[in-house]
Structure 1
């Protein structure tokens, strides 16, 4: 039987049974397929090193991680402990606010990490496959492990009977079904076992994770005690999401973007906030949606995050200007965090999607992609959606007699970038190029070169901008702001 051959290849049943913990020290890199300049070019988001001790039988781990993040260059360094449903983090784990924290973490954050460990620890995988109650389907050179609440995992064995590949389908917003592969190689003796020293993770054939294990030790004692055994409760949906979208979440975690573990469910304000007459904004914990009034409909700009959050944001979009339905949604660029809810925005039908011309095919694909792991409204009731590409600019008449200009601009961020300018109030909306501050900022602060490129583009396009509104809020350390005068951007840009 293939499992017996696996046991022998790994070192024997007695050696496996005697192993209590696995301690791995590794270095590696993580790429994000939803970031970068183009959808086909995953962006390097971190270079990391870690030492992690895991209990091979019980759901416990102790992780000490250091990473250099790339989106916002930051040095992360923290210890994270998970024990059952309890979790704790101590150190710096957030690139946007690199101050040390010492706090309990949500139970679903622990669950996502445990799932990632289950997919990358061969001893833990072997224990699961050999458990008396394991639900395992056996093939000639593979087995499929089925666990309640998790996507089935197909384990493929090499000619030497060692696991060489795991195959599973996860939910990766907004594309839906994503083919995930975990590849093991460079097996070497470790004590009485034989274990892999190289692990690669690919999503839809794009490599997102590559780590070299510089040292592996068995049976090291570890302190799995959680300093503050307070469970930060999660909803049923959040807990489930951690188990079927694990590697999607890990893209953000290893990038130092902690808020993706927050699995946001609703905007921060109960109703959209007025920016100017005919212009409102839906404010989220991390991402915003602009709403502009037209003669007989509204236009939304950005559809951030993922379905659960976007459903709540969409409800506010629909209430922003009573009697005027949503008919167009603009994606400022293709990055997941700003358009992850676009399928939810178009699910009612009759909504056009407007994006930068280079990403038209990308959006057509994601609007028609299968969603079987986590079916959404569009999967349940498919509707035809027109995707319009903006090569240079697109002008649309607003309800106040002005113009809504959807404008391509060139920046280092993406090749499909758009800004949206509302002429009468002089409002310009952008995402990721600059985060407004409530008070006058320091010169040459903020997003650096991106802010310079934004300010220069406004001048080159001769846009009469009075207020810059952003897809993210900025802060002076005390107060958050979603809008600021153009003068603040000029100061930040050093112009």
Structure 2
């Protein structure tokens, strides 16, 4: 686990062998009797057996076929805050009704979400999956909803999250269990087990005093940190139909290995309160279908593995309104917005491409590495004699810089707010193992080493304190992300005003606006009209 492992006074990383002494023989025999029919466990581990019994007993837990629950969730995003080193932003609240059949890999999840960031809105979403086929109904807040198909990555992410939140069922359905070194967590010594279950490896930490699970975590991938520990902590255990259930869960997604000086709440992504739960309620034959919505096969291929390998990312996107989020890595289009200038479209988030005399410059690195690799391939096909030499990042929000790693690995110079250079250095080291070529901008400056003039300016604003805008003076064009989105109906008047004031303050000669969202261009007059100028 990412928590500190100890044995006695000596820290160790390897699994700890368990030795049986004569005075421990009776508990060992009792443990073996309790664990009959369960996965093989290192002989004599009475604590694991006691935990199973405390939770309700292995037979009772394995007999559960259906879980029906209603939960309230507060959703936080560590990389949607105003300052990169600040606390996570509270992006939304959700009311969720879940019907889940663990052994059959079936679920029905109905979500009512109220988003506070980036816009205040309400979304209703319904997803069903019968183990092979799935469907969805609802609106996506980032782009036109793609239709009723349930994306494979999303289905895999939902299933994995359900297992993560139910440690008793993980224990009961484990294929194998291995005792690891004990761990210290917030001053408590916890017993740690590695469990193979539900097509993943999990680390389960048990409190030896209560014999209840304190934490479950699984290692996943993340566009920003590379390897991360996706974890749930459990509290407020209650007995429901003879089974102990945690009524409070707190989710974190933390770099693995952990940062040298972690900040309180820096990795918080969710707090969940269980409102109601029923075990094995009556379930109708149409529980995993949607009336009037055709279901479709959900293949368990590369996209399924993608969602399973970084489930936290897809569900964090959903928490911000991306309820129908699907693969956005493949479609790459170049919309010409000026001479040698292109808006790179094909997803909910866009780049600006500046074509120079001998190289290329991109603004922003949206979403995830998979999309960036597709963009790099498209650039090579269209401009084979012009390498990508520079990437300018407008701000630190992960939906605009999560795809940075492939560009850095390709040797591009990274231009960003001087306040964020430490973040990007650590990010690139963790994801590529290399030291990036970084250039910091404080208030304003020219992009160094690029043969076409491109200027960068800082914008004081209420969205992200490190926000930069990009001006191409020979085309009188300005690119921004989030503050104003040409071609999109939804706008934030405060952020738009702050962008207009920055353009005026710096005396920029701007005729055309292009955005990281929306589509195409608008004249500067459209922004002036919105803000009342």
TM-score normalised to structure 1 length:
0.87
Q: Which segments of 5 or more consecutive residues in structure 2 lack a partner in the other structure?
A: 1-44, 183-190, 255-265
State the secondary structure of the residue aligned to 1:385: coil
Cα distance change on mapping 1:412 and 1:85 into 2, 3 Å: farther
Cα distance change on mapping 1:235 and 1:5 into 2, 3 Å: closer
CA RMSD across the alignment: 2.5
The correspondence of residues 23-422 of structure 1 with structure 2, limited to 5 A, is: 23-40=68-85, 41-71=87-117, 72-92=119-139, 94-96=140-142, 103-129=148-174, 134-139=175-180, 141-147=191-197, 150=200, 152-158=201-207, 159-204=209-254, 206-223=267-284, 224-227=287-290, 228=293, 230-231=295-296, 236-258=301-323, 261-269=325-333, 272-318=334-380, 321-349=383-411, 351-369=412-430, 371=431, 378=432, 382-396=433-447, 403-422=453-472
User: CA separation in 2, counterparts of 1:102 and 1:173?
Assistant: 26
User: CA separation in 1, counterparts of 2:171 and 2:83?
Assistant: 39
User: CA separation in 1, counterparts of 2:228 and 2:391?
Assistant: 25
Cα distance change on mapping 1:163 and 1:402 into 2, 3 Å: closer
Q: Deviations over 1:213-271 (max 9, x none)?
A: 12222111234332456435568332111111011221111221136x312122342xx
State the secondary structure of the residue aligned to 1:103: coil
Asked whether the 8 Å contact 1:23–1:52 carries over to 2, the reply is: yes
Cα distance change on mapping 1:56 and 1:262 into 2, 3 Å: closer
Task: Quote the offset at 1:327 in angstroms.
Answer: 1.4
Task: Quote the offset at 1:55 in angstroms.
Answer: 1.5
Residue 478 of structure 1 corresponds to none
Cα distance change on mapping 1:337 and 1:234 into 2, 3 Å: farther
State the secondary structure of the residue aligned to 2:396: coil
Out of 48, 51, 57, which is 1:12 matched to?
57
Residue 454 of structure 1 corresponds to 499
Asked whether the 8 Å contact 1:293–1:398 carries over to 2, the reply is: no
Greater gyration radius: 2
State the secondary structure of the residue aligned to 1:464: coil
Q: Which segments of 5 or more consecutive residues in structure 1 lack a partner in the other structure?
A: 372-377, 474-480
Moved more, 217-226 or 323-332: 217-226
Cα distance change on mapping 1:318 and 1:492 into 2, 3 Å: farther
State the secondary structure of the residue aligned to 1:262: coil
Task: Quote the offset at 1:407 in angstroms.
Answer: 0.9
Asked whether the 8 Å contact 1:413–1:450 carries over to 2, the reply is: yes
Asked whether the 8 Å contact 1:293–1:321 carries over to 2, the reply is: no
Moved more, 279-288 or 352-361: 279-288
State the secondary structure of the residue aligned to 1:472: coil
Residue 6 of structure 2 corresponds to none
Count of matched residue positions in the alignment of Structure 1 and Structure 2: 461
